[in-house]
Chains A and B, each alone.
Chain A
Amino acid sequence: DTEVTQTPKHLVMGMTNKKSLKCEQHMGHRAMYWYKQKAKKPPELMFVYSYEKLSINESVPSRFSPECPNSSLLNLHLHALQPEDSALYLCASSRLPGVNQETQYFGPGTRLLVL
């Protein structure tokens, strides 16, 4: 089973709202990732968690706050977003962090619209 699940599938929020995106995998993977993808563009890395610790933050604004409560779960907390943050947010996981041969498995994404 190589499934990464993400909820919700779609989210509409106002600029003053607080919401969270959830990602789950049960493959025993120890690296988890958040990506942002704008239309007709490749995914852009936001955060990397290795063994439940944040290892990479790609200079993401503080209105995005990641959290890894356990090895299977990854959250992305959203607060005071801007309309330009509207995008597809993808979660991914891989078996081991920092090993370039490892495949990253992606979830189906959460499509976010900020009004």
Chain B
Amino acid sequence: GDSVTQMEGPVTLSEEAFLTINCTYTATGYPSLFWYVQYPGEGLQLLLKATKADDKGSNKGFEATYRKETTSFHLEKGSVQVSDSAVYFCALSEDAGGTSYGKLTFGQGTILTVHP
């Protein structure tokens, strides 16, 4: 079945450091890929998404590019802030026509802590 693998955390950075959180996936067909962020005590918020190969999703300084050749969707940000401290989930949604009916398959999540 489909799966998503994220780099293990926690990740601890100083403010203004460069961030990369690796995400690779296994899927049949052509999934859509998502990054969600969860702040403490809250639900998940969509951070960005990409629906086909070579698409780049971007939002709030975060970027990720859908790389079909390496089955990856790594999250990057050039300069993190303390307010970026949260849990980040990479996820995929299977190709239409499958039996999962829009099911999101999540990675295990990466805890990011940014210090001043």
Contact = CB atoms under 8 A, between A and B. Distances in A.
Interface string A75-115: 00000000000000010101001111111111111000000
A98 B91 CA distance: 16
A109 B43 contact: yes
Interface residues of B, number: 27
B101 A97 contact: yes
A35 B12 CA distance: 28
B43 A108 contact: yes
A100 B109 contact: no
A65 to B, nearest CB: 20
A48 interface: yes
A45 B44 contact: no
Contact of B101 (A43, A50, A109): A50
A41 B91 CA distance: 13
Given A43-B106, A99-B96, A100-B96, A107 B101 contact: no
Contacts of B108: 41-42
Interface string B54-90: 0000000000000000000000000000000000010
A-B CB proximity, top 3 nearest: A42-B106, A100-B93, A106-B43
Interface of B: 31-32, 34, 36, 42-46, 49, 51, 89, 91, 93-96, 100-104, 106-109, 111
